[in-house]
């Protein structure tokens, strides 16, 4: 529980010493009222159902969890599927660990409430989602999902780097480092951004891909400005520190080698693909360096153009215009 309680502290920390890029994101949300988030614990309630009374137990849960239990519960196929899910030793293992690690989701509820206040600040007419937690059964590619104004969080995706099932399932270390309590809130905002601005097809140049990824990062930044930047992009502290130290060198390499307008797939993957590191630079260099650079360009663009809204940003089709008007110049 100690590690999870730190989560709330991270969210509520005041941002100090921020430059102009960060100040743009410090929205005054004091007048923005939202209902406090309550995470509905399907992950706990479902596993408390008596297996001998499965149908009756599921019927009793249905009013509260219609999103999950909307099917005809008299269907023997559906009942058999649910029994198989609940009897699965792996799912039971996930459930035990989730119960131990996440007895209390109060810190996450408070953090989500704060994030939703930012969302309402930018989008006062949009509806906020109802939030549920569940055991995904190791659906690692989609730890947070959104459908029908419902956000569902697979808490079994956030059991920490030492959870043995992650290793047994063959997950690479670089992914497991992003499966901690601190990663839940950024992942929720990432999905909220994808729903708010469904993916268009980015251009086929490195610059276009960088700016598209940068817009996504900026959305997360706007929703949770007080959270550490490394968590927003999914870097370890060492990776974040390397990027902060070497950003100008990465940018210089892109410019000097005329990579910015290249459309070669392998080259773009070098800068945009996920992985343990970027071998072309060093084993200490993080992956997705193009995403980081794109984020910094977008931040600079938004800081220099306060009249541009988030909607304006996402509707701007020209990555070159964003780059030019950003006046981006990494510190040396």
Q: What pLDDT, on a 0 to 100 scale, did the predictor assign at position 20?
A: 57
Q: Which tokens belong to 328?
A: 């981006």
Q: Would you list the domain boundaries of the chain? A: 32-196, 206-326
What does the pLDDT look like over 240-279, one tens digit per residue? 999 999 999 999 999 999 999 999 999 999 999 999 999 9
- Sort strands 130-134 and 39-41 into parallel, antiparallel or unpaired: parallel
258 forms bridges with which residues in the sheet? none
| Model pLDDT, residue 70 | 82
- Would you state the pLDDT for residue 160? 96
Distance (Å, whole) CA 54 – CA 43: 16
pLDDT at 23: 78
185 neighbors 115 (Cβ within 8 angstroms): yes
Q: What pLDDT is stored for residue 332 in this prediction?
A: 65
Q: Is 22 exposed, middle or buried (0-12, 13-18, 19+ CB in 10 A)?
A: middle
Distance in angstroms (rounded) separating the CA atoms of residues 305 and 104? 42
pLDDT at 331: 80
* pLDDT, position 74: 84
Q: List the 39-41 sheet strands across, edge first.
A: 39-41, 130-134, 150-154, 144-147
Q: How far apart are CA 216 and CA 150, in angstroms?
A: 20
Residue 281 in tokens: 């630079």
User: Which parts of the chain sit beneath pLDDT 50?
Assistant: 1-18
CA distance 297 to 215: 9
pLDDT for residue 10? 39
Tell me the DSSP string of 264-318: -HHHHHHHHS-SS-BTTTBTTS-S-HHHHHHHHHHHHHHHH-TT--HHHHHH---
């Amino acid at each position: 529980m100690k590690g999870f309680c730190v989560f709330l502290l991270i969210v509520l920390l005041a941002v100090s010493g921020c430059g102009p890029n960060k100040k743009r994101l410090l929205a005054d949300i004091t007048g923005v009222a939202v209902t406090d988030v309550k995470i509905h614990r399907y992950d706990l309630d479902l596993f408390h159902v008596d297996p001998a009374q499965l149908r009756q137990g599921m019927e009793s849960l249905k009013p509260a969890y219609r999103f999950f239990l909307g099917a005809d519960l008299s269907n023997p196929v559906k009942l058999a599927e649910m029994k198989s899910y609940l009897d699965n030793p792996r799912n039971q293992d996930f459930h035990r660990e989730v119960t131990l690690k996440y007895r209390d989701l109060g810190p996450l509820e408070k953090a989500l409430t704060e994030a939703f206040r930012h969302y309402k600040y930018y989008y006062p007419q949009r509806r906020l989602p109802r939030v549920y937690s569940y055991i995904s059964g190791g659906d690692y590619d989609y730890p947070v999902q959104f459908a029908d104004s419902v956000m569902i969080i697979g808490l079994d995706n956030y059991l920490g780097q030492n959870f043995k099932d992650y290793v047994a399932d063959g997950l690479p270390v670089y992914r497991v480092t992003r499966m901690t309590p601190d990663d839940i809130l950024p992942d929720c905002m990432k999905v909220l951004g994808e729903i708010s601005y469904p993916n268009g097809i980015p251009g086929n140049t490195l610059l276009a891909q960088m700016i598209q990824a940068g817009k996504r990062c900026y959305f997360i930044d706007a929703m949770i400005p007080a959270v550490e930047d490394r968590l927003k992009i999914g870097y370890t502290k060492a990776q974040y520190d390397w990027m902060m130290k070497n950003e100008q060198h990465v940018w210089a390499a892109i410019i000097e080698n005329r990579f910015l307008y290249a459309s070669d797939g392998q080259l773009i993957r070098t800068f945009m693909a996920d992985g343990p590191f970027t071998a072309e630079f060093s084993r200490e260099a993080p992956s997705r360096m193009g995403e980081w650079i794109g984020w910094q360009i977008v931040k600079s663009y938004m800081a220099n153009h306060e009249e541009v809204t988030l909607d304006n940003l996402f509707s701007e089709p020209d990555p070159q215009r964003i780059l030019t008007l950003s006046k981006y110049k990494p510190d040396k």
